[in-house]
Amino acid sequence: MKNGQTRYGALISTLSPREVIGLVGQPIDRVNDPYAVALAYAKFYDERGGGVETEFKQSKQGIGITKRNKKRFPAQQMVMLLGMLAHNVLIWTRRWLSADAPKLASYGVLRLVRDVMGVSGFVEVEGSRTITRIVLNRAASLARHSAKAFQVLLKDEPVRVVLGKT
């Protein structure tokens, strides 16, 4: 560039320059200044909470998919799809359980897997297929919360959820 001109690269964003300028509190007349717009995008990006990255990290750690590279693309694709399914099932489970155990609503995937799904116990089965009782270890710190939530979740099923020694 010559004569002091500066070239700015294109930014990819769902927000228009007018929206970003407004969100960072700059005067709207700066929308035509490419330098001010670039700084507004940078400031807006820097002020974000990083919640998405944190959620991805917790999900990957909770599900245990931090290093699962496969040599063949279809195998790698299957690992990715299974990871997505596991993540979704855990998020649904948190929603179902937190309706009756509000304490669990703030748990991330890692804590949900480690602390809630890690409660020891056993399942009693009648015959070869019918679950009749779920016994959670009453010594576990989250067993009482989990048992209450599972009881409500399974109220229409012939399954009893109880606390006991495991």
**Which pLDDT score is estimated for 160?**
92
The reply to whether 82 and 109 lie within a common domain is yes
Count of the separate structural domains present in the chain:
3
Structural domain range at position 137 = 119-164
**Burial per residue of 24-50, b for 16 or more beta-carbon CB atoms within 10 angstroms, e otherwise:** bebeeebbeeeebbbbbbeebeeeeee
58 and 37, same domain (yes or no): no
For the chain, list residues with pLDDT below 50. 1, 3-5
CA–CA separation, 151 and 157 (whole Å): 9
pLDDT (tens digit per residue) in 95-114: 988 888 888 888 888 888 88
Question: Does the residue 33 lie in any domain?
Answer: yes
> What's the pTM value of the predicted model, to 2 decimals?
0.57
Report the percentage of the chain scoring pLDDT > 70.
84
pLDDT, tens digit (0-9, with 9 covering 90-100), for 6-17: 555 556 678 888
Q: What is the pLDDT of residue 7?
A: 52
Q: Is residue 7 part of a domain?
A: no
DSSP string, 30-47: GGG-HHHHHHHHHHHHHT
CA dihedral 64, 65, 66, 67 (to 10 degrees): 120
Residue 11 lies in a domain: no
**Could you give the 3-state DSSP secondary structure of residue 92?**
helix
Predicted pLDDT at 125: 92
Same domain as 83, residue 67: yes
Based on the fold, state whether residues 103 and 61 are members of the same structural domain: yes
* pLDDT single digits (tens) 70-82: 788 888 888 888 8
How far apart CA 90 and CA 110 sit, in angstroms, is: 10
Whether 108 and 124 map to the same domain: the answer is no
- Are residue 76 and residue 127 in the same domain, yes or no? no
Do 128 and 107 fall into the same domain?
A: no
Structural domain contains residue 9: no
Which of 46, 61, 83 corresponds to the end of one domain?
46
In a domain, 3, yes or no: no
Tokens of 142: 């989250």
- Contacts of 22 by beta carbon, 8 Å cutoff, 6+ apart: 28
**Which one of 94, 113, 132 terminates a domain?**
113
> CA–CA separation, 140 vs 164, rounded Å?
10
Structure tokens at 103: 């304490």
* 36 and 55 share one domain: no
Q: Is 138 helix (H, G, I), strand (E, B) or coil?
A: coil
Beta bridge partners of 125: 131
pLDDT of residue 5: 47
Residue 8 lies in a domain: no
Asked whether residue 34 falls in the same domain as residue 59, the answer is no
